[in-house]
A and B are shown apart, each in its own frame.
Chain A
């Protein structure tokens, strides 16, 4: 579904990614783990067209998408829930969700999709008339995911959904990610610092270090890997 070859990204003159290659199979959950500043968000930003690709290729459903404008990439069914959530703080929960459906013309289908989102995140339903800025961090994360779902994506990229969120909500959100993957058949590319949890729910994982992939394997194998256990799983 998504295949990246030798991706290189620079911020100014500083290289953030030194040739990343990775593959996301249709219907799977793939996770990227790595320390702060390893370049995880940069990979997602490059896929979404938010930062220019200096070299390498990104193919989505067999089509090259590197350096396309972000709105064109969204239109192809690739949604990105950015780091820090970026909900529209001054708009209501409902308006945020509708903003996610910006490119869609099938207004008649909105109620059904909203129902689904309110079904997995009942909190959003209760707070649908509230402005997003008044939500807790966890609720904002739910909103950001719901908003992305409103675009009817085929592939969903999530950047650190657990960041700054109460531990019980993190559990809930990860359960919903599995649900979205299984029930809607949406392919998921997940970036997480909480490697434990991420490798638990994903099929495949990549370990990133300073702009390079140093390990890739099935998530199960990675969880058993000595190096991963020491560096990312709290060294049990």
Chain B
């Protein structure tokens, strides 16, 4: 029982990170109808931004790890990733806007491979240890929790879930209640009609890439706080899982991406805990296939509704 709860806790915080990355896939799909396969690598760049900017930024807020310092590092990484995401769209995808989707898709794979190899070239292929942004430790659970006080809940886990929640609420607000969000939704429903409303579609697309990439950057920092060893290929697996999460939740659907991320995280940890770590990915993808067989639009997707 305790063991199962522990897997759920660990899986949930891992899933929150997948959810953040999945949002980027799903938003870009919403406005452009294509999968940005380089998105996982933007997440990796977010982690490396933290690696290089972290120590310097922390110094500004006193010597050691601090929450305010960590927040500053995360915001910086988000900014760096937003700029990178916007540049990728501008340079690689926009010139192909009128081309068949397959062309853009293959380009995205190319960009992904480029970033992975460029990362190995610049940062080195070996894992790097991530600076300590906060004093991460497990909470002392009170005695009166009885047997539950044997659970391990770390500060970083709580932080990851809390930050993800805040970012999700912020995203929801942007999409539903701002002018830019209105434009994003219009664009995802019908690009021609959107431009006839006076919406500058290029700006909206840039914004979408910026926003999605910023979330990936935040995820890059959050995962590095939890698992402080980063390498240039860390985006491959995380990106794939997050993509699966987005499809599972119904690609193009924001709450779906969040739900999909959490489910994938939980599933992974349950499989690792109760089946075998070896079969983790096989079972995760197997479940995806099963769910898509039953509901091809994903859990919350319904053919043409609620895009972005």
Contact = CB atoms under 8 A, between A and B. Distances in A.
A82 B193 CA distance: 8
A70 B202 CA distance: 11
Given A91-B185, A99-B182, A86 B192 contact: yes
Contacts of B304: 89-90
A234 B201 CA distance: 43
A102 B192 contact: no
B192 A91 contact: no
Residue from B185, B192, B197 having most chain A Cβ neighbours under 10 A: B197
Residue from A75, A86, A99, A147 having most chain B Cβ neighbours under 10 A: A99
Interface string A74-107: 1100011010001111110000001110110000
B34 interface: no
Contact of A88 (B189, B200, B202): B189
Main secondary structure of the interface of A (DSSP, over half): loop
Interface size class of A (residues with CB under 8 A): 20 to 34
B199 interface: yes
Contacts of A86: 190, 192-193, 196
Given A88-B186, A88-B190, A90-B306, A102 B199 contact: yes
Contacts of B196: 48, 50, 70, 74, 79-80, 82, 86
A42 interface: no
B192 A90 contact: no
Contacts of A102: 179, 182-183, 186, 197-199
A236 to B, nearest CB: 37
A71 interface: yes
Interface of A: 48-50, 69-71, 74-75, 79-80, 82, 86-91, 98-100, 102-103, 147, 151
Counting from the closest, the 10 A-B pairs by CB-CB distance are: A74-B198, A103-B198, A70-B195, A86-B193, A71-B200, A102-B197, A71-B198, A88-B189, A102-B198, A80-B196
